[in-house]
C-alpha cells in the first residue's frame, strides 16, 4: 500500500511538472499533488527556498556505509542579533473608503483637504451697524452677508470642481439671472444645460442654487416683477436639467420637488407671471412623475396628497387652489377625477367663487382641468332637464361639482357622463 501511494503521488506530481513545461520535479509539484489527492502537505519544504545538503565526514568504523548527506542548520549568534538595530516593519497595504462629497458638500474628515476658512466681518463694521441702526446700514449689512454666502459657496465649489467647471458655473449663473438682460445668453445657457454632457459634478450645485433662488424670491410674502422673472428662470433651469438625458437626477429629487411645489402653490405670485409660472411648474411636475414614478412608486401618491390638501383645506388662498388644480392636471386624468370630482375640490372652489369678483382665473383653471376628462366628439349635445335621465345626470353633477360648474358641463352630455363615470348605455 505504501508503494502504491508513493507511486500515485509521484505520478500526480509529474503531471504538474509536465503542465509546467519543466523537466525537474520540485517540491511544489509534490505539494500540489498532495492537495489534489486530499493529503495534508509537508510543511517546511518550498521551491522558493530549497534545502542545502552537506556531505558528512566518512565514518571509519563503517566504511561500507557510503557517503551521507544532511541538511545544514544555520548557527545563530545571539550576541550579534541583540546588537543589531531593530527594524520596524511597515504596515501592509490596505484600502479604506471615505466620502469626498455628500450632495456637493465636502465632509470635514482627516482624509479630505481642509476647508477654506470663512472670512469674518470686522468688529468695527458690526459696531457701527448696531450703533446707527439706519436702513442704509442694515441694507449694506444684508448685502455683505449675501456676498459672504456667495463667496463661501464659490469656495466650496473650488474644493470639489475643476477650474473649467468653476468658470462654467460662474458664467452660467451670471447669464441666467435677471440683471443680465441678454436674451441670447440666457437661451444659450439653457440650451447648454439641456444638451451638454459632463455636468453631473455640477448638478448638486445647480440644484442648490435654484432652491436658494426660489426661497429668496418667495420669502417676502408678496413677490415683485423682478422676483417673478427670477422664478421663471429657476423653473426653466429645472426643466432643462430634467431634459438632459446624460444627468442622473434621481438622488436629487427631494431637492428638486420643494422649489417646484413652492412655486406652484404660492399664494402671492406676480399677476403678470402667475399663470405662466404655475403652468411651467405643473409641466415640470408632470415630467418628474413621468420619468421617475416607476422607480419611486410612492412619489405620485405623496404629491397627490400635497395637492389635495392645498385644494380642499379651508383657509387656502385662490392662488394656492389654482396651483393645486394645475398640478393635478400635470399629474394626469385620474388625479383630476380624484381631486375635483371625487375629492370635492370643485365644490370647494364653487362655494368660494360664487360671489367673488376676482375668481375668474380660478374658475377657468377648474374648467381647463375638467376638459382633460372631456371625450373627443364632433357633435355636442346638451343635457335636457325635461328628460328624466338627463335630469338625474344634472342632479349628480350639481352634487359633485356645484351649481356653477354643473351648468357649464351640462352643455355637453357626453362630457357630463364621462365625468360621472357613466356611458350612454348606463342610462338606457
Contact 209, 157 (CB under 8 A): no
Structure confidence at residue 428 (pLDDT): 45
Residue-wise pLDDT for 260-306, tens only, equals 999 988 888 888 888 888 889 999 999 999 888 888 888 888 998 89
User: In whole angstroms, what is the distance from residue 231 CA to residue 284 CA?
Assistant: 13
- In DSSP notation, 341-388 reads IIS-HHHHHHHHHSS-SS-HHHHHHHHHHHHTTPPP-S------TTSH
Most confident of 2-16, 154-168, 260-274, 359-373: 2-16
Each residue's pLDDT tens digit, 369-427: 888 887 776 677 787 878 888 888 888 888 888 888 888 888 888 888 888 876 554 54
**CA dist., res. 29 & res. 16, Å (int):** 6
The whole-number pLDDT of residue 260 equals 92
Separation of alpha carbons 375 and 416, rounded Å: 10
Q: Answer yes or no: is pLDDT of 176 > 90.
A: no
Closest CA to 115 of 59, 149, 153: 153
What pLDDT score does 157 carry?
Answer: 46
How many angstroms separate the Cα of 219 from the Cα of each of 14, 361, 365, 375?
Answer: 84, 24, 26, 42
Q: What is the pTM of this model?
A: 0.59
Taking a C-beta distance cutoff of 8 angstroms, is the pair 287, 301 a contact? no
Give pLDDT, residue 122.
47
Most confident residue range from 51-65, 116-130, 141-155: 51-65
Report how far Cα 382 is from the mean position of its chain's Cα atoms.
49
317-342 pLDDT per residue, tens:
888 888 898 899 888 888 888 888 88
pLDDT tier for residue 89 given thresholds of 50, 70 and 90: confident
Please state the rounded mean pLDDT for residues 36-46.
77
Helix H or strand E segment including 409: helix 403-409
243's enclosing H/E stretch is: helix 225-243
Amino acid at each position: 500500500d505504501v508503494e502504491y501511494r508513493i507511486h500515485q503521488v509521484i505520478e500526480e506530481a509529474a503531471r504538474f511538472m509536465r503542465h509546467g513545461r519543466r523537466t525537474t520535479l520540485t517540491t511544489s509539484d509534490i505539494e500540489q499533488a498532495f492537495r489534489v489527492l486530499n493529503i495534508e502537505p509537508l510543511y517546511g519544504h518550498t521551491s522558493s527556498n530549497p534545502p542545502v545538503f552537506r556531505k558528512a565526514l566518512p565514518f571509519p568504523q563503517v566504511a561500507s556505509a557510503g557517503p551521507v548527506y544532511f541538511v545544514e542548520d544555520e548557527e545563530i549568534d545571539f550576541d550579534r542579533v541583540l546588537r543589531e538595530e531593530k527594524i520596524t516593519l511597515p504596515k501592509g497595504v490596505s484600502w479604506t473608503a471615505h466620502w469626498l462629497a455628500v450632495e456637493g458638500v465636502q465632509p470635514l474628515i482627516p482624509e479630505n483637504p481642509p476647508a477654506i476658512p470663512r472670512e469674518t466681518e470686522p468688529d468695527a463694521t458690526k459696531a457701527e451697524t448696531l450703533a446707527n441702526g439706519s436702513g442704509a446700514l442694515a441694507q449694506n449689512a444684508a448685502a455683505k452677508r449675501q456676498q459672504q454666502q456667495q463667496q463661501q459657496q464659490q469656495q466650496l465649489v473650488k474644493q470639489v470642481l475643476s477650474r473649467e467647471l468653476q468658470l462654467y458655473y460662474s458664467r452660467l449663473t451670471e447669464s441666467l439671472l435677471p440683471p443680465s438682460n441678454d436674451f441670447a445668453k440666457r437661451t444659450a445657457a439653457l440650451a447648454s444645460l439641456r444638451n451638454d454632457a459632463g455636468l453631473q459634478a455640477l448638478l448638486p450645485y445647480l440644484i442648490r442654487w435654484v432652491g436658494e433662488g426660489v426661497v429668496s424670491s418667495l420669502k417676502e410674502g408678496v413677490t415683485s416683477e423682478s422676483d417673478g422673472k427670477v422664478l421663471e428662470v429657476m423653473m426653466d433651469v429645472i426643466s432643462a436639467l430634467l431634459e438632459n438625458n446624460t444627468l442622473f437626477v434621481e438622488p436629487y429629487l427631494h431637492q428638486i420637488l420643494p422649489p417646484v411645489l413652492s412655486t406652484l402653490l404660492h399664494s402671492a405670485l406676480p399677476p403678470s407671471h402667475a399663470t405662466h409660472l404655475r403652468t411651467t411648474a405643473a409641466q415640470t411636475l408632470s415630467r418628474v412623475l413621468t420619468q421617475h414614478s416607476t422607480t419611486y412608486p410612492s412619489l405620485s401618491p405623496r404629491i397627490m396628497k400635497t395637492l389635495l390638501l392645498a385644494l380642499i383645506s379651508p383657509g387656502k388662498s385662490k392662488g394656492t387652489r389654482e396651483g393645486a388644480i394645475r398640478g393635478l392636471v400635470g399629474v394626469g386624468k385620474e388625479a383630476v377625477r380624484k381631486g375635483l370630482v371625487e375629492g370635492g375640490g370643485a365644490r370647494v372652489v364653487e362655494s368660494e367663487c360664487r360671489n367673488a369678483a376676482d375668481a375668474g382665473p380660478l374658475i377657468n383653471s377648474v374648467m381647463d382641468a375638467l376638459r382633460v376628462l372631456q371625450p373627443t366628439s364632433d357633435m355636442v349635445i346638451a343635457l335636457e332637464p325635461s328628460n328624466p335621465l338627463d335630469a338625474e345626470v344634472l342632479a349628480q353633477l350639481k352634487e359633485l361639482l356645484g351649481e356653477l360648474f354643473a351648468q357649464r358641463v351640462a352643455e355637453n352630455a357626453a362630457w357630463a357622463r364621462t365625468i360621472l363615470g357613466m356611458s350612454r348605455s348606463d342610462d338606457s
